[in-house]
């Protein structure tokens, strides 16, 4: 047994004897954290500033209630926004209390997973029109079903390319009894038809899980005695405490679910303890809003506490972050100001990628692991040039992109086969299985419909047996070029599924068909690991990155790769060194149509800069190359106090650099003015070239002040002139004029530069 395990067991014994308040972990909490852990108000919301240890407080609260106040874990519901967050909370609890059983933490999970479990185990879902054997749809599947209904009933629904978003956004208005849809089409006729079809095929969408469970909870609460279930168990009597992580990300439907669950027990309503940060609301497109934190506070009459002390970032980063704070008090830090924030200008994204590759290689040679470094960007399209350059430099990286089973055709088809096998009423999936151009065949239908009979009484089933039962060798076409890869992917998937299902049957949890159904539903909600380590298909919130603050052991266990991700995906993470690229006006922030969008862009930038612990670098482009982006720094850079910045990495502020650039005539070198001069010169030259007898290209040695050549050089053989650039190496001069120089570099193609910047050195002619 390891020393660490012994240490955890000793700690567990100490907890059991003395309670959480007498432990070293409790003593290490600051006064604000202790106040939150010990508070027992009927409802309490904790405004937890970024990096203030909110997960530590949540874990401490659970331990305090369980060990000091004798609240069973079964009487707690812990709601998170990602499955990863729920799993990490349970894992950290088990390090202190190793004997926690799975059934004790069944109430720990995402809103959707807890709702699913209640519908399967305790709520009378049959009264709502489904059976206990229902399956969970992914959002794309619901959209496909809606399109089929539109065609069958001849409905006129506008903007079908945005149907998925419209179904989500207008659903609450339809439920509230609004007479017409936003675009005055047949969308409101579609909703009841879609609902009936889902019941007929015995499957629910993510929204259905919350809506149906909320309705059934309210019916149960309204009945005398308050119970539908025949079993008067602890779980059916409702929770005593409901704890919510990242509460600011809640939407209206989740708040309704929370309120219904609060009233679901006998006697007094459950107590609510919620933690979150209103300054990190960045998912308004999902129905959240910056007022959600305070809506919960007032709806439940909650007491508000704060966690103002940040333990993550250095003082310079926090001072900058405070300029973007929208709610609550200023963030307090415990670290000294160690290093200023670097602001760097690059000509274009390619030049920046080259710079980042060299910079990261230098950091790595100096002892910094790749996993401690992250590059954030606003748009996913910005990662392409980074990937190509990092590949060329041999820099390992991990791209944070949500990959689904739909990206792996054979697995997408296989999951559909399994879904029909555990839910024969799902005619939509059956049609897709049989119509698949790559793998579909009619003989599969009989195998799917008889699956429950064939496997229902088996004590265990192997991956090989399932492969043979479904006739997958023939379905995958053994003579095709991709057969071996498809077979490997299918067998890997089936082995993982069978291991999970057989383990569940060993614990007495139903038969193999029920276990497969649970596995498929879980995959729809949480995602599953493919052999490449990607999530698939993923919970709607898995892509957000929100979750418990990672500890040092988590970081050491992660692959040693540079992290490339969008600002949205960075939420909940932290890194020693962070580069945020493309901080141009029109990129960060994006162009916004209203004040609410602008405020969310500001919060998104706040999230990004507060991921950095020690080193933060912000960069912008002279030539961004993105639609809507302007070749000038974002106004967000002007919001950061100058004394916190190190411009271009020179160690000097912008005012110091400007002072040094003053010439003998007292004029400053102003990039914006220079750009205007260049454009004016190009316009004048263009007009001059259109005049009869106008001169050609200026001589190579002409000065920037605009001296022109009085006569052209005599005709002679063109000479090859070499040039050198710091990033691109040696190349060949193509052309130049008074303002610009164009050169071609091997491997990089042709590039243009402003002469005033002095980026290109002209060498002797060959």
Give the residue numbers of the binding site. Answer: 48-55
Contacts 24+ apart (CB under 8 A), 459-463: 459/505, 460/498, 460/502, 460/505, 460/512, 461/498, 461/501, 461/502, 461/512, 462/498, 463/491, 463/494, 463/495, 463/497, 463/498
Kind and range of the H or E run holding 342: strand 341-346
Q: How far apart are CA 327 and CA 49, in angstroms?
A: 10
Nearest one of 272, 252, 253, 276 to 264, comparing CA atoms: 272
Q: How far apart are CA 233 and CA 53, in angstroms?
A: 35
CB atoms within 10 A of CB 489: 20
Asked, as a colleague might, if the bond just before 354 is cis with ω within 30 of 0, I would say: no
DSSP E strand boundaries for 114-269: 135-136, 203-204, 241-244
Question: Which residues, other chains included, contact 79 with Cβ-Cβ below 8 Å and sequence gap of 6+?
Answer: 109, 110, 111, 114, 242, 243, 244, 245, 258
CA distances from 30 to 18, 307, 333, 610, 697 (A): 20, 9, 13, 21, 71
Beta strands 271-276 and 241-244 are parallel
| 590 secondary structure, DSSP code | B
Q: How far apart are CA 344 and CA 200, in angstroms?
A: 59
Q: How far apart are CA 188 and CA 157, in angstroms?
A: 9
Do the Cβ atoms of 429 and 419 come closer than 8 Å?
yes
CB atoms within 10 A of CB 26: 20
Q: What are phi and psi of 280, to 5 degrees?
A: -120, 30
CB atoms within 10 A of CB 325: 17
Asked, as a colleague might, if the bond just before 589 is cis with ω within 30 of 0, I would say: yes
> Which residues are known binding-site members for ATP?
48-55
Kind and range of the H or E run holding 191: helix 187-200
Q: How far apart are CA 335 and CA 312, in angstroms?
A: 9
Q: Spell out the alpha helix ranges (H) of 97-186.
A: 111-121, 139-153, 163-169, 171-175
Sign, CA dihedral 510-514-520-521, equals negative
Q: How far apart are CA 346 and CA 349, in angstroms?
A: 7
Do the Cβ atoms of 421 and 386 come closer than 8 Å?
no
What's the token pair of residue 252?
């209206």
- Partners of 45 in the β-ladder: 274, 304
Question: Which residues, other chains included, contact 376 with Cβ-Cβ below 8 Å and sequence gap of 6+?
Answer: 565, 566, 567, 570, 578, 579, 580, 581, 608, 611
Nearest one of 212, 257, 223, 215 to 239, comparing CA atoms: 257
Angle at 546 between CA 543 and CA 547, to 5 degrees: 125
Q: What are phi and psi of 310, to 5 degrees?
A: -95, 130
HSE-up (13 A, CA, CB side) for residue 173: 14
Do the Cβ atoms of 396 and 370 come closer than 8 Å?
yes
- Partners of 374 in the β-ladder: 563, 578
Q: How far apart are CA 66 and CA 240, in angstroms?
A: 11
Distance of CA 96 to the CA centre of its chain: 30
Do the Cβ atoms of 508 and 531 come closer than 8 Å?
no
């Amino acid at each position: 047994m390891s020393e660490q395990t012994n240490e955890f067991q000793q700690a567990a014994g100490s907890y059991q004897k003395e309670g959480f308040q007498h432990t070293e972990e409790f003593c290490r909490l600051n006064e604000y954290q202790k106040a939150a852990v010990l508070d027992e108000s009927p409802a309490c919301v904790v405004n937890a500033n970024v990096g203030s240890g909110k997960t530590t407080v949540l874990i401490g609260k659970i331990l305090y209630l369980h060990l000091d106040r004798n609240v069973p874990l079964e009487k707690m519901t812990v709601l998170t926004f990602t499955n990863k967050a729920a799993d990490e909370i349970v894992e950290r609890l088990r390090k202190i209390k190793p004997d926690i059983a799975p059934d004790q933490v069944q109430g720990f999970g995402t809103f959707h997973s807890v709702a699913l479990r209640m519908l399967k185990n305790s709520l009378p879902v049959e009264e709502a029109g489904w059976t206990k054997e229902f399956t969970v749809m992914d959002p794309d599947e619901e959209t496909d079903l809606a399109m089929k209904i539109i065609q069958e009933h001849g409905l006129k629904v506008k903007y079908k390319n945005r149907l998925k978003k419209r179904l989500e956004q207008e659903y609450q208005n339809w439920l509230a009894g609004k007479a017409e849809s936003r675009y005055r089409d047949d969308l409101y006729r579609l909703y009841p038809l879609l609902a009936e079809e889902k019941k007929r095929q015995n499957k629910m969408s993510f929204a259905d899980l919350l809506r149906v469970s909320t309705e059934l909870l309210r019916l149960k609460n309204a009945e005398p005695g308050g119970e539908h279930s025949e079993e008067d168990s602890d779980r059916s009597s409702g929770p005593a405490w409901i704890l919510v992580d990242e509460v600011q990300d809640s939407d209206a439907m989740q708040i309704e679910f929370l309120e219904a669950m609060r009233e679901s027990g006998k006697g007094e309503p459950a107590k609510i303890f919620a933690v979150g940060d209103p300054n990190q609301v960045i998912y308004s497109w999902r129905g959240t809003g910056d007022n959600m934190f305070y809506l919960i506070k007032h709806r439940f009459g909650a007491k508000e506490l704060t966690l103002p002390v940040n333990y993550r970032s250095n003082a310079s980063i926090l001072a900058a972050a405070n300029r973007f704070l929208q709610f609550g008090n200023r963030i307090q830090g415990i670290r000294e100001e160690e290093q200023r924030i670097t602001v760097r200008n690059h000509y274009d994204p390619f030049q920046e990628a080259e710079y980042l590759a060299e910079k990261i290689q230098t950091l790595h040679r100096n002892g910094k692991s790749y996993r401690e470094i992250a590059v954030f960007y606003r748009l996913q399209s910005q990662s392409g040039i980074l990937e190509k350059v990092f590949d060329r430099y041999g820099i390992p990286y991990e791209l944070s992109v949500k990959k689904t089973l739909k990206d792996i055709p054979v697995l997408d088809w296989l999951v559909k086969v399994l879904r029909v096998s555990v839910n024969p009423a799902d005619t939509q999936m059956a049609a897709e299985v049989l119509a698949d151009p790559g793998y579909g065949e009619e003989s599969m239908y009989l195998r799917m419909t008889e699956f429950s009979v064939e496997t229902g009484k088996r004590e265990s089933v192997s991956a090989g047996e399932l492969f043979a039962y479904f006739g997958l060798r023939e379905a995958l076409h053994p003579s095709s070029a991709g057969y071996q890869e498809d077979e490997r992917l299918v067998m890997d998937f089936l082995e993982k599924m069978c291991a999970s299902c057989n383990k569940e049957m060993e614990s007495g949890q139903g038969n193999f068909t029920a276990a497969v159904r649970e596995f498929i539903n879980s995959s729809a909600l949480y995602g599953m690991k493919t052999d490449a380590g990607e999530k698939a298909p993923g919970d709607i919130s898995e892509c957000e990155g929100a979750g418990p603050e990672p500890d040092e052991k988590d970081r050491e266990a992660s692959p040693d790769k540079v992290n490339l991700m969008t600002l949205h995906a960075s939420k909940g993470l932290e890194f020693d060194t962070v580069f945020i690229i493309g901080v141009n006006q029109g990129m960060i922030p994006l162009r916004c149509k209203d004040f609410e969008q602008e405020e969310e862009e500001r919060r998104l930038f706040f999230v990004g800069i507060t991921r950095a612990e020690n080193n933060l670098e912000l960069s912008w482009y002279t030539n961004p190359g993105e639609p809507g982006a302007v070749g000038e720094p974002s106004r967000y850079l002007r919001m950061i106090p100058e004394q916190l910045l190190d411009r271009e990495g020179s160690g000097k502020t912008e005012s110091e650099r400007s002072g040094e650039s003053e010439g003998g005539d007292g004029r400053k070198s102003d990039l914006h003015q220079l750009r205007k001069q260049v454009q004016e010169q190009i316009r004048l030259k263009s007009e001059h070239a259109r005049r009869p007898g106008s001169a050609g290209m200026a001589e190579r040695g002409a000065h920037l002040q605009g001296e022109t050549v009085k006569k052209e050089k005599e005709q002679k053989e063109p000479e090859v002139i070499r040039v050198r650039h710091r990033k691109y190496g040696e190349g060949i001069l193509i052309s130049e004029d008074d303002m610009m120089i164009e050169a071609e570099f091997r491997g990089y193609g042709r590039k243009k530069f402003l002469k005033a910047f002095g980026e290109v050195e002209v060498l002797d002619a060959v």
